[in-house]
Amino acid sequence: MSYYFSKRVKGDFEEVIGRVKEELKKEGFGVLADLDVKKTLKEKLGVDFRNYRILGACNPVFSHEAFQAEDKIGTMLPCNVIVQEWEDGVEVTAVDPVASMMAIENPKIREVAEKIQEKLKGVINNV
């Protein structure tokens, strides 16, 4: 089982970031963190890297369900969506929450993960 799903898209990197954020919003997610890996690697190590952003996405309804079912679930949240630039386009990738939650032996968490998986797949497909 893969731990992610992804898609290559056409467009300017920043424009794709905007589309991803809009699609996340449509599915009820907010972006709690927006980590600029390129900028951080340049500042911390002085190295050049491609455009690469990690968006920490959270759906409050599903997060609340998960917190009620498993008190340590915060160690696995939020759901990360990455956007990275390649020569032939921009790749958008989301974590597969079902795969990442397999270590938790709690059927309620599996149910929540399946709902989130469906929504994140929708985000990727609609970008």
Please report, for the chain, the start and end positions of each structural domain, with discontinuous segments joined by +. Answer: 4-126
Q: Which string of DSSP letters, residue by residue, matches 59-113?
A: -HHHHHHHHHH-TTGGGG-SEEEEEEEETTEEEEEEE-HHHHTTTS--HHHHHHH
Q: Which fold has domain 4-126?
A: TATA-Binding Protein (3.30.310)
Torsion over CA: 106, 109, 111, 114 (sign): negative
How many angstroms separate the CA atoms of 3 and 96, rounded?
A: 5
- pLDDT, tens digit, 9 for 90 and up, residues 45-97: 999 999 999 999 999 999 999 999 999 999 999 999 999 999 999 999 999 99
CB 3 within 8 A of CB 97: no
- pLDDT, tens digit, 9 for 90 and up, residues 17-58: 999 999 999 999 999 999 999 999 999 999 999 999 999 999
How many angstroms separate the CA atoms of 98 and 113, rounded?
A: 5
- The 3-state DSSP class for residue 32 equals strand
pTM: 0.94
CB 103 within 8 A of CB 73: no
